Structure 1
Amino acid sequence: MQTDPTTDVASQPVQRVVIAGGGTAGWMVAAALSKTLGKRLDIKLIESDEISTVGVGEATIPTLMTFHRLLEINEQEFMAATQATFKLGISFENWRDVGEDYIHSFGVTGKDHWTAGFQHFWLKGRERGLARDYGDYCMELQAAAAHRFAHLPRGGMNYAFHMDAGLYARYLRGFSERFGVQRIEGKIVDVQRDATGTSIRSLRLESGVELEGDLFIDCTGFRALLIGQTLGVDYEDWSQWLHCDRAVALQTASVGPAVPYTRSIARDAGWQWRIPLQHRVGNGLVYSSRHLDDDAATRTLLSNVEGEVLTQPRVIRFQPGQRRQTWRGNCVAIGLASGFLEPIESTSIHLIQRGIVRLMQMFPAAGIRQVDIDEYNNQTRAEIEHIRDFIILHYHVTNRQDTAFWRGCREMAVPASLRHRIELFRESGRVFRVPNELFAENSWIQVMLGQGLVPRQHHPVADLMGDDELSAFLGGIRSAVQATVQRLPAHQAYVDQYCRRTEAAAAG
């Protein structure tokens, strides 16, 4: 393999792709590569049945639908295969303060003016006693609160999914194998670097088989066997802002109809999730080990679940942060091997997807070039830092002072980029969105208002409306939302008729 450090990492065309690790990340990579480039690539995926995956990334955000459209995946088939339900947002309970709740939905709230967002008209209406809760003007939020759902014409409902992560990996495995991906069962016991020491030459399995490749995808989870242990890419620790570093997870039987939102319930030293699927409920407690030990966390979770416990509690340890590079040499890390924030806004699968799409856009068919590696790493870092700030916002902007954990979150110094967003909204009611940023203005507004941050002023364009005009404007939006939501069927009933998994499908 010829190399030129000034231009090419490897001038040999990429034809052999080796994916180290399965799970959600590995099989998403395999599915995308095989569907789009399978005819020109030799794709192998190595995974061992003896190595368990984290398998708790069961709540998604709407961007997953884009991934499925690219792969031409049938939604009903996917939902039946993964026991999926619909998700319209996240219910944040006890986050602003104990006993105070709000929903961060996937929808658009109200109607903007070209000079100012809807929040300015809402703030004016609130000042004049003409406005209801901010969430009253968002259809997806009201549908979630009413436990209703349906597909609407012209993509009129923004939604995502709750799904069984293990079944999703199995579904994508079948999809990938139809497009030529070869799965190899085995444990990786050695990683051989090339002569330069900056790239990978081959992986050796416990069976003695050695697999060479031109491009290696590290999907080995927190172990980061290739990018971290072998190539030595450092990990940047963000625990000064994200204090939670543990999760304990288990599954319970369903005790009622599935709701179309994830529940995020703040506890004394972290928060608890509830994710309703067709056949069960996923549960977990994300917590800070500095404030709660594993045994106490397990007891807290067990005392706050509903329904029969189906699995043994499993403790997952993680360090919030990001690899300083996610692509080095001929190795790209995707999924947990590249970094992890925490599951609060269901961004893990999105970041897998973005890593895949970015790789597809820069795929080194003619050879790996340093300029592509640098661009990939720069884009990855910018994206995850914006998501990091959004997640920190949930912890830092709060009225809770009842425990050491929450006092520490309130009092910590936050990144300057987040501090600017908070101060801008507090002083002016304005938000801004960086190009290609995941969370739109309405997400920032919903969470900032939900966490108790109310702007001190609104845009003067809202003052041009008299009380009668403003009341009619706000009332018309709210009435339209109510009328639409009232026509929607119950979420559970819609799931049952749209994508209920049959016994025959389950057996297959």
Structure 2
Amino acid sequence: MPVATSNTRAIKRFVIAGGGTAGWMTAAALARFGPPGTSIALVESEAIGTVGVGEATIPQIHLFNGALGFDEAEFVRETKASFKLGIEFDGWHHEGESYMHAFGAVGRGVGLLPFQHYWLRAKQLGFAKPLMRYSMNELAARTMRMQRGRRAQGAPEMPYAYHFDAGLYAAYLRRFAEARGVVRHEGLIERVTQDGESGAITALALDGYRLVEGDFFIDCTGFRGLLIEQALDTGYEEWTQWLRCDRAMAVPCANGGDFTPYTKAIARKAGWQWRIPLQHRIGNGLVYSTARMNDDEAADTLLANLDGEPFAEPRTIPFTTGIRRKMWHKNCLAVGLSAGFLEPMESTSIHLIQSTISRFLSVLPGAEPDPAIVEWFNAQCEFEWTRIRDFLILHYTANARVGEPFWDEVRTMELPDTLRAKLDQWRATGLIHREHEELFTDVGWFQVLVGQGVEARGYNPLADSLPETDLRALLDGTEAALVEEVRQMPRHLDFLQSMMTSAPTPGVPA
């Protein structure tokens, strides 16, 4: 019987191509969790800028920061962060209407059934209130309040994420990684050298003569995919038939307006605008379809809808939504924009970096990656990305902005089978099925389906077993408890200021 042993031919040299958030998140994770004796090199050039607009996150960022041992107060100070309880979608169904996809629970279920079935029954009976009345996160967000943990016994947790400066986060990660042995090489990658037989990458040639050799290479070179695409030719699957926007325009501005503990996504003529409030500025951008809006019109729209004075000229970022056909091929892994691109309306960009790194570490390969592991890894990535894609498409297709060419186009387009099935199930009986480990839960789908005006014709008849008086008590009691909980929370700004003046946790690595 064979005896299981560790892989003695483990990878000894990792080389990361590209910096930014993707490169330095990867470097920090490898430095913290990589096998003993592993060398990690990162190649980047100050001559190449980063996209750097992914400043909003989702609560899973706590897992990454916590695993690295970051002190939260220090992290908030170093990255100029603010807190985020959800995302407001303004005008996505009708102009002048808004709803929120808030983190955390909405209502509470009874017995076998989740809350949506009881809410749908109460809606038919005429006494269900808007979902925000049953969401602690949304009630807190709308009143500009924030807390961590539970105030009262039995109260729900209030999950939260951050808005932060992506450039400052990359710098924070860089300090962490370099303190743990990561070696940074400054220079432009002019050539990728490959093994003549296997096609595996062997080195990156910098500035014509310097070679950075390695056993495994991680492509964080952004949209161009210098390793995964230009060298290894893995191919790219476009999703532009569903996600029609192909350009973003970004500009920071001075703080102004409400210091919201939530991101805003505001529907515009041919796309949508983001608003992300940080301590020192507001991040703004317009995502749009060049088939329906030219760059001059986009710049005028963006600049006319800022809360403060712009700090720079708007920067244009072309993109093509989609995914690499293989994120891991031979001895190369694509992370971040080199792996694919999805619009940031649900703040998934940094999460997808994080999940790719985590998945890779869970199956850390030897010097010769096993094809079965690589195939499994790529299938898991494809599943995660396609389910997020479907969730984003839902925001577009379920709109009622009749008479506007862009919105008419996306409302009537043919949908992926996976999304059509979810919509059919919801419309039939209020069923929301979370398949495997897809990122967005039934609560997230519930909020967006209701917010976008997608009506369910019925609900699970088990909800009728609860007497109407008890159903009213369930909804009224849930609302009253949440309102009281939120009423005693500090203001977002006060909470942030108190954290900024708190001392770092002793013994936590910086």
TM-score by length of 1: 0.95
Hey, what's the Cα distance between the residues in 2 that align with 1:38 and 1:315? Answer: 41
Aligned residue among 127, 132, 144 for 1:130 = 127
Instruction: Give the match for residue 199 of structure 2.
Output: 198
The amino acid across from 2:149 in the alignment is: L
Decide whether the 8 Å contact of 1:11 with 1:368 is kept in 2.
no
Cα 1:367–1:500, aligned 2, differ >3 Å: closer, same or farther?
Answer: farther
Matches within 5 A, 1:106-145: 106-145=103-142
Cα 1:207–1:170, aligned 2, differ >3 Å: closer, same or farther?
Answer: farther
The amino acid across from 2:211 in the alignment is: E
Hey, what's the Cα distance between the residues in 1 that align with 2:197 and 2:236? Answer: 22
Residue 390 (structure 2) pairs with residue 393 (structure 1) = no
Hey, what's the Cα distance between the residues in 1 that align with 2:110 and 2:293? Answer: 47
Instruction: Give the match for residue 266 of structure 2.
Output: 265
Hey, what's the Cα distance between the residues in 2 that align with 1:344 and 1:87? Answer: 14
Cα 1:501–1:181, aligned 2, differ >3 Å: closer, same or farther?
Answer: farther
Q: Secondary structure at the match of 1:368?
A: coil
1:198: Cα distance to partner?
A: 2.6
Decide whether the 8 Å contact of 1:38 with 1:180 is kept in 2.
no
Decide whether the 8 Å contact of 2:15 with 2:218 is kept in 1.
yes
1:212: Cα distance to partner?
A: 0.9
Decide whether the 8 Å contact of 1:45 with 1:183 is kept in 2.
yes
Decide whether the 8 Å contact of 2:429 with 2:459 is kept in 1.
yes
The amino acid across from 1:312 in the alignment is: E
Residue 495 (structure 2) pairs with residue 494 (structure 1) = yes
1:493: Cα distance to partner?
A: 1.1
Hey, what's the Cα distance between the residues in 1 that align with 2:304 and 2:326? Answer: 41
1:38: Cα distance to partner?
A: 6.0
Instruction: Give the match for residue 4 of structure 2.
Output: none
Decide whether the 8 Å contact of 1:88 with 1:158 is kept in 2.
yes
Aligned residue among 64, 70, 73 for 1:73 = 70
Hey, what's the Cα distance between the residues in 1 that align with 2:29 and 2:253? Answer: 32
Q: Per-residue CA shift, 1:81-118, capped at 9, x if unaligned?
A: 00000000000000011111000001101111342210
Hey, what's the Cα distance between the residues in 1 that align with 2:356 and 2:279? Answer: 29
Instruction: Give the match for residue 93 of structure 2.
Output: 96
Hey, what's the Cα distance between the residues in 2 that align with 1:123 and 1:381? Answer: 33
1:165: Cα distance to partner?
A: 0.3
Instruction: Give the match for residue 378 of structure 2.
Output: 377
Hey, what's the Cα distance between the residues in 2 that align with 1:164 and 1:80? Answer: 11
1:464: Cα distance to partner?
A: 2.0
1:385: Cα distance to partner?
A: 0.6
Hey, what's the Cα distance between the residues in 2 that align with 1:492 and 1:96? Answer: 30
Unaligned ranges ≥5, structure 2: 1-6, 504-510
Hey, what's the Cα distance between the residues in 2 that align with 1:104 and 1:264? Answer: 11
Decide whether the 8 Å contact of 1:83 with 1:501 is kept in 2.
no
1:130: Cα distance to partner?
A: 2.3
Decide whether the 8 Å contact of 1:254 with 1:281 is kept in 2.
yes
Q: Per-residue CA shift, 1:173-217, capped at 9, x if unaligned?
A: 001011110011111001111122531011000162101100000
1:12: Cα distance to partner?
A: 4.8
Decide whether the 8 Å contact of 2:133 with 2:139 is kept in 1.
yes
Q: Secondary structure at the match of 1:401?
A: coil
Q: Secondary structure at the match of 1:68?
A: helix
Unaligned ranges ≥5, structure 1: 1-9, 503-508
Residue 237 (structure 2) pairs with residue 236 (structure 1) = yes
Q: Secondary structure at the match of 2:191?
A: strand
Q: Secondary structure at the match of 2:310?
A: coil
Instruction: Give the match for residue 505 of structure 1.
Output: none
Q: Per-residue CA shift, 1:381-419, capped at 9, x if unaligned?
A: 011111010000100111112311100111000100000
Q: Per-residue CA shift, 1:438-476, capped at 9, x if unaligned?
A: 000000000000000121111112212232211111110
Give runs of ≥4 in structure 1 deviating > 4 Å: none
Instruction: Give the match for residue 506 of structure 1.
Output: none
Decide whether the 8 Å contact of 1:194 with 1:200 is kept in 2.
yes
> What RMSD in Å do the two structures reach over aligned CA positions?
1.7
Residue 7 (structure 2) pairs with residue 26 (structure 1) = no
